[in-house]
Structure 1
Amino acid sequence: MSDARRPSPPQPEQQQAPPGLTAKMDPIPDHGEQTYRGSGLLTGKVALITGADSGIGRAVAIAYAREGADVLISYLNEDEDAEETARWVREAGRKAIVAPGDIQSEDHCKALVERAVSELGRLDILVNNAAFQRTYGDIADITAEEWDTTFRTNIYASFFLAKAATPHLRPGSSIINTTSIQSRQPSPQLLAYASTKGAILNFTAGLAEMLAEKGIRVNAVAPGPIWTPLIPSTMPAEKAASFGKQTLIGRAGQPAELAGAYVLLASEHGSYMTGAVIPVTGGEVMI
């Protein structure tokens, strides 16, 4: 999608039940389906990507496949979206495994890693991307159960998956976590979500040091506002309509605009990077 075709707010007012579906969004996000061209940067690699059914995860899966990687597509229950991601991966000539289930469960996280290794032959790249968020105006409205769900999805799962994946990762392999501009500029209505994104920053830095002697790189991408199903399914319709307006670019980013950062961190071009965070924020400054 060219810059001229990337819509600026206001978007049509819209709302979905969580976790949201791509086909119901207006406009449909750009995942790079028509624009991303690979050059063999990940030939022969295997990637496990959480939240790969839609949004950033789908864009990364498409880019990785076009760079030569096979992909395990981890997602909660959005079967239609996951199958669409798998279709694009297979059209690129790569293998795709769709793996539904809740990454809050450590057993499920272990099973994802085992499937990648047993069905795709190896594991080289772990992308911890799936996230849960809700918006609240008052801390009194956030239940302990919701707080726990946010942390288990956003940070516990990254720990579970990294722990399960590390014994299978060779020197030169990568773990890539998705943090957020919220880790440095927390919005009060996203208190739980922003708190987890701050934790992911520290997790990335500490794990990078822990795994450096094994030759495993650990980095993160910090998106700003990105147009994905998470937005209309977790924000009031009027907020979804103006989403991304506060950036210097004046609009939300498209998932396709993050794919290059994830490719860099997974490829040999990023071989001197570990413990790093790449901001893709539309001009919002991460301090």
Structure 2
Amino acid sequence: MSDRTNEPDNPQEVHPAEQKPPQDQDAPGTTAETEPSPDHGEQTYEGHGRLEGRAALITGGDSGIGRAVAIAFSREGADVALTHVAKEREDAESTASLVQDAGRKALTLDGDLRDEDYAASLPRRVLDEFGRLDVLVLNAAYQQARDGIDTVETAEFDRVLKTNLYSQFWILRAALPHLQPGASIIITSSIQAAQPSPSLFDYAMTKAAQVALVKALAPELGEKGIRINAVAPGPVWTPLIPSTGWPGHVPEFGKDSPLGRPAQPAELAPAYVLLASDEASYISGAVVPVTGGQPF
């Protein structure tokens, strides 16, 4: 990276466009199996006290975008709780260690977001541990490449909707009575909400629904002093990609972006920090595209 005191970084080169070998993982993917390893900002993110003393819950905070956000939030001064499934325990513990290295409290919450009781219990568990809940990041998601709508079994369709939509409804319903004025809700949507791929039709459906949810709830929550927004990533190199079921597509992933490469999770984190912080006090009902130039 160049010295910012002399000249700005070229966004095409700030992260190298590394060749990614064909690879496949069972969902959910893990960081250890992802080659090359994503950059979550472990060595580069510097905090400036934007979230000092606050507490955040991040679903899917063990790896990928969720881990990058957890690192950034903790270095900005927030305690962080993160959800994960059993297979992701090693990733979750690694992320929790990074949060603690920043001098903040970490809480890992093992469970399946498709379980209503587990999902609905999360806000209370964060409140019991941290004494407050200021930022809710609904980030966890599931996607699989499809060969056509006629090949998708109901159980698979159900898995996508329960992970990406039902869990968010259950968590929001449980959290809202406890959120105070100044709280921020951030949903991870996707460019798929605006540019749906045929092979991800069910995932794209949920991402478009999340955009509708943000726009629908913003007026109601605004009256309570609570902001709700979405971040819409474009191609991002995370374990979700090699676990999507398209090993031959992985080497070309993100190369059709105007910047010629996929994002690294670290490049998404600043958008979440902004939306969580008081610097975004007049931003609500918005969708922030972080797409490398692909139109949203």
- Category of TM-score, reference length = shorter chain: over 0.9
Find the aligned partners of 2:262 and 2:150 in 1 and give their Cα distance: 30
* Aligned position for 1:257: 267
Find the aligned partners of 2:239 and 2:248 in 1 and give their Cα distance: 15
* Aligned position for 1:26: 35
In structure 2, what residue type is equivalent to 1:12?
P
Q: Does 1:7 align with 2:2?
A: no
Find the aligned partners of 1:274 and 1:59 in 2 and give their Cα distance: 22
The TM-score with structure 2 as length reference comes to: 0.94
The TM-score with structure 1 as length reference comes to: 0.97
Alignment check: 8 A CA contact 1:138 1:189 kept: yes
Larger displacement relative to structure 2 (187-196 or 10-19): 10-19
Alignment check: 8 A CA contact 1:222 1:281 kept: yes
* Aligned position for 2:230: 220
Find the aligned partners of 1:179 and 1:236 in 2 and give their Cα distance: 21
Alignment check: 8 A CA contact 1:46 1:123 kept: yes
Q: 1:82 aligns with which of 92, 100, 103?
A: 92
Q: Percent identity?
A: 55
Number of matched residues?
A: 286
* Aligned position for 1:123: 133
Helix, strand or coil at the partner of 2:68:
helix
* Aligned position for 1:173: 183
* Aligned position for 2:7: none
Q: Which runs of 5 or more structure 1 residues have no equivalent in the other structure? A: none
Larger displacement relative to structure 2 (102-111 or 250-259): 102-111
* Aligned position for 2:104: 94
Larger displacement relative to structure 2 (43-52 or 160-169): 160-169
Deviation at 1:6, TM superposition (A): 2.4
Matches within 5 A, 1:38-53: 38-53=47-62
In structure 2, what residue type is equivalent to 1:34?
Q
Q: 2:66 aligns with which of 57, 60, 76?
A: 57
Moved over 6 A (4+): none
* Aligned position for 1:269: 279
Alignment check: 8 A CA contact 2:57 2:80 kept: yes
Deviation at 1:8, TM superposition (A): 2.0
Find the aligned partners of 1:86 and 1:265 in 2 and give their Cα distance: 22
Cα distance, 1:156–1:11 mapped onto 2, change above 3 Å = same
Deviation at 1:236, TM superposition (A): 1.8
Find the aligned partners of 2:140 and 2:241 in 1 and give their Cα distance: 14
- Higher helix fraction (1 or 2): 1
Find the aligned partners of 2:168 and 2:271 in 1 and give their Cα distance: 19
Find the aligned partners of 2:192 and 2:233 in 1 and give their Cα distance: 9
Find the aligned partners of 1:187 and 1:275 in 2 and give their Cα distance: 25
Find the aligned partners of 1:29 and 1:224 in 2 and give their Cα distance: 15
Deviation at 1:9, TM superposition (A): 5.9
Alignment check: 8 A CA contact 1:9 1:241 kept: no
Per-residue Cα deviation, 1:42-88 (whole angstroms, up to 9, x for no partner):
00100000000000000000000000000001112210000000010
Q: Which runs of 5 or more structure 2 residues have no equivalent in the other structure? A: 3-10
Helix, strand or coil at the partner of 2:231:
strand
Q: Does 1:68 align with 2:77?
A: yes
* Aligned position for 2:142: 132
In structure 1, what residue type is equivalent to 2:293?
G
Deviation at 1:5, TM superposition (A): 6.5
Find the aligned partners of 1:106 and 1:214 in 2 and give their Cα distance: 26
Alignment check: 8 A CA contact 1:9 1:243 kept: no
Alignment check: 8 A CA contact 2:232 2:291 kept: yes
Q: CA-atom RMSD, angstroms?
A: 1.2
